[in-house]
Amino acid sequence: MTTQSYSSEVPNVDAVERHGYLFGHPIAHSMSPLMHQTVYDGLGLKWSQFPLDSLDMDLFLRLRTDPRFYGASVTMPHKITIMKHLHHLTPEGAAVGACNTLFLRTDPATGKRQYWGTNTDVVGVRDAFYQNVPDPDNSFHGRPALVIGGGGAARSAVYALRTWMKASKIYLVNRDRAEVKAVIDECMTRGYGDQLVDVSTLEQAQKLEGVGAIVACVPNFPPKTPEEIEARAVLECFLEKPHKGAVLEMCYHPSPWTEIAELSQRTGWQVIVGTEAVIYQGLEQDKLWTGKEIEEMPVKRVHDVIAAKLSEARL
């Protein structure tokens, strides 16, 4: 089977001084190039991130050798396969086992370009909470946390909650027990899987301490199967417990306001929409690429542009 590229042509990068790529497939609905362009324009940089909708790894490896290349956002299906083409991984990239960001550094000994990889999704989860919750100590520090789902986003949430957000333990809720076991096993192997608890039934949830931070990493659809209905009942049980903290709803397409967001708000929780995690993981990327601190970037403008783009998509 031949490798197929989905780009009509390689982007023309000559109009800018520095360029990067969004590398993955499919990426037509991604807001990444728009978000980064907003940052570069605000910083007065003649930079752009170009979409490279492709499955052709060799093509990308050739394009990244351009002297004007500054780095790339890497999305599915390349987050794991890109890692063997890097010189170094940050602790976050190694711990999560997936790379969503390629950035450049210079080898001090040889002066040659080195390709580094990291995972800024974990920073997106962390900063979505810390930039929106005014009192983390009373909201979620030192309390159990809850992660809904069993994919890559769930692993990123576990890492952020365990490493930075002072979760005392982490409850995992999902319709598929095998997926939960895979998350626990992988997190244990990578060194941050202690105090992970598979909460599989409403009866079990009723006996557990309430949580302070919830990260929902599942698509927005009504529960239908018995397993989905049980998982939703477990979530509702935690939402109805006396302590109310903050919920990060990672699903934002086609709308950031989901069933889980509605349930959470109705029961007295602070809801953080998923675009917050997207924005803060992107700003962390720009920090690595430009060398600027997030405080120097047009953060409010980025929020406004992304909100307008979502509104336009819903029309």
pLDDT per position as a tens digit, 260-299: 999 999 999 999 999 999 999 999 999 999 999 999 999 9
Domain check: are 255 and 148 in the same one? yes
Domain check: are 91 and 216 in the same one? no
Which structural domain, as residue segments, surrounds residue 166? 123-274
Domain check: are 58 and 162 in the same one? no
Which of 79, 102, 119 delimits the end of a domain?
119
Within a domain: 12: no
Report the distance separating Cα 220 and Cα 205, nearest Å.
22
- What strands lie across the sheet with 113-118, from one edge to the other? 47-53, 18-24, 69-74, 101-106, 113-118, 88-89
Distance of CA 190 to CAs 64, 176, 187, Å? Answer: 29, 22, 5
Which of 57, 85, 119 delimits the end of a domain?
119
Q: Give residue-wise pLDDT tens across range 13-53.
A: 889 999 999 999 999 889 999 999 999 999 999 999 999 99
Domain check: are 146 and 102 in the same one? no
Report the distance separating Cα 76 and Cα 218, nearest Å.
17
Domain check: are 156 and 26 in the same one? no
Domain check: are 110 and 130 in the same one? no
Examine the pLDDT at 6 and tell me if it is beyond 80. Answer: no
Check which CATH number belongs to the domain holding 90 and give it. 3.40.50.10860
Q: What is the mean pLDDT of the chain?
A: 93
Band the pLDDT of 165: cuts 50, 70, 90: very high
Domain check: are 195 and 101 in the same one? no
Band the pLDDT of 195: cuts 50, 70, 90: very high
Domain check: are 142 and 241 in the same one? yes
Tell me, what's the pLDDT at 9?
63
Within a domain: 285: no
